[in-house]
Amino acid sequence: RVEARPGNVEYYHALMMFTKVDKSKGLQEKFQVAMRSMAKHGRFLEGEVLVLHFVSDEASREMGERMLPQLLLDAAFQYEVVFHDVTSLTEKLFPIVEAMQKHFSAGAGAYYSDAIFFLSVAMHRIMPADLKRIVQLDLDLKYRSNVRDLFQEFNHFPPGAVIGIAREMQPVYRHTFWQYRKENPGTRVGEPPPEGQPGFNSGVMLLDLEAMRDSTLYNRLLESGRVAGLAQQYHFQGHLGDQDFFSMIGMEHPELFSPLPCGWNRQLCTWWREHGYGDVFQLYYHCPGPVHIYHGNCNTPIPHD
């Protein structure tokens, strides 16, 4: 008698924000490009499963459930889909991130609904403890490599690092930190690579949830007093959510972050080139090496290979 042996299944977790998708044709098109290219280049071993997590409202979830089977038709790997309700995640997040919201959100107040833009910051407190690693991905991406290879970057984290993230490829933090830079001539804060600290982009992130839970330093930085202190020290006022938080704490504690090669989040937005930073733009925008993922940020069209 032959018995079915389940064997050891290995799960690869990826999460995407997926809200108001039913209301935006543009977002639907980005979603299609992302999922089709992920399916096209994705390869996993036998016994491995890619788990796609979507944070959605009800209408977006219905649209996602309807579109995904078609988009992943060519996938030569096993996958599962999990939808998370944006309202219940927001409820859990708000008390943790409320204090930091005013430093990293647009507008004056800390709006309840903006808490979800800080999901990555406190994901380790929200998700079940048996979830140890997850990658968070934007929808405006086009994959040119196997997404499984991205997960291998977890194995290159230096000791003490809790998040893998690529640098920001525009001089946006040169701008945000202007006052600190004026008061601290010669600082690396906001300077271009390879010597400077240009800040981070949150379009592709590796969250080592286990390391985030275990890091005393990281969890201290979530305390409201610490965030306020650093924001004051750096004269920081941003509006880009999690990416601003990571960029600011990364200036003080770069060892918390494992630098992801720029080819894993090749941002295409050139907005700051035409808004006062044309002279230094290329120093930030330049990304040598292979492009694994294009990021069409600020609605920038992605080249057809």
Contacts with Mn ion by CB under 5 A lie at 138, 140, 203, 297
Minimal distance, residue 150 CB to ligand UDP, in Å:
16
Instruction: Identify which of residues 138 and 168 has a Cβ nearer to Mn ion in the complex.
Output: 138
Instruction: Identify which of residues 203 and 241 has a Cβ nearer to Mn ion in the complex.
Output: 203
CB 14 within 8 A of CB 137: yes
Instruction: Identify which of residues 93 and 204 has a Cβ nearer to Mn ion in the complex.
Output: 204
Per-position b or e across 46-73, b if 16+ CB within 10 A of its CB: eebebbbbbbbbeebbebbeeebeebbe
Other C-beta atoms within 10 Å of 9: how many? 9
* Residue 59 binding partner per list Mn ion, ligand UDP, none, with a CB distance cut-off of 5 to 8 Å that depends on partner kind: none
> Should residue 113 be labelled a site residue for ligand UDP when binding is judged by CB under 6 A?
no
Minimal distance, residue 204 CB to Mn ion, in Å:
9
> Should residue 139 be labelled a site residue for ligand UDP when binding is judged by CB under 6 A?
yes
Question: Could you say which residues in the range 270-299 bind ligand UDP, by CB under 6 A?
Answer: 297-298
| Number of residues located near ligand UDP, criterion CB under 6 A | 13
> Should residue 20 be labelled a site residue for ligand UDP when binding is judged by CB under 6 A?
yes
> Should residue 18 be labelled a site residue for ligand UDP when binding is judged by CB under 6 A?
yes
Residue from the set 140, 191, 242, 244 that interacts with ligand UDP by CB under 6 A? 140
Q: Which residue is nearest to ligand UDP (CB)?
A: 138
Minimal distance, residue 219 CB to ligand UDP, in Å:
25
> Should residue 138 be labelled a site residue for ligand UDP when binding is judged by CB under 6 A?
yes
- The answer for residues whose C-beta is within 8 angstroms of residue 181's C-beta and 6 or more apart is 174, 187, 189, 190
Q: Which residue is nearest to Mn ion (CB)?
A: 138
Q: Is 1 exposed, middle or buried (0-12, 13-18, 19+ CB in 10 A)?
A: exposed
> Should residue 16 be labelled a site residue for ligand UDP when binding is judged by CB under 6 A?
yes
Distance CA 261, CA 273 (A): 22
Other C-beta atoms within 10 Å of 248: how many? 27
Question: Could you say which residues in the range 26-55 bind ligand UDP, by CB under 6 A?
Answer: 27
Q: Is 154 exposed, middle or buried (0-12, 13-18, 19+ CB in 10 A)?
A: middle
- Residue 126 corresponds to which tokens in the numbers above? 């929200």
Beta bridge partners of 164: 206, 258
Residues 153-192 as x/- pattern, contact with ligand UDP by CB under 6 A: ----------------------------------------
Distance CA 18, CA 169 (A): 24
DSSP string, 24-43: -HHHHHHHHHHHHHHHHH--
Amino acid sitting at position 279: D
> Should residue 17 be labelled a site residue for ligand UDP when binding is judged by CB under 6 A?
yes
Q: Which residues bind ligand UDP (CB under 6 A)?
A: 16-20, 24, 27, 138-140, 203, 297-298
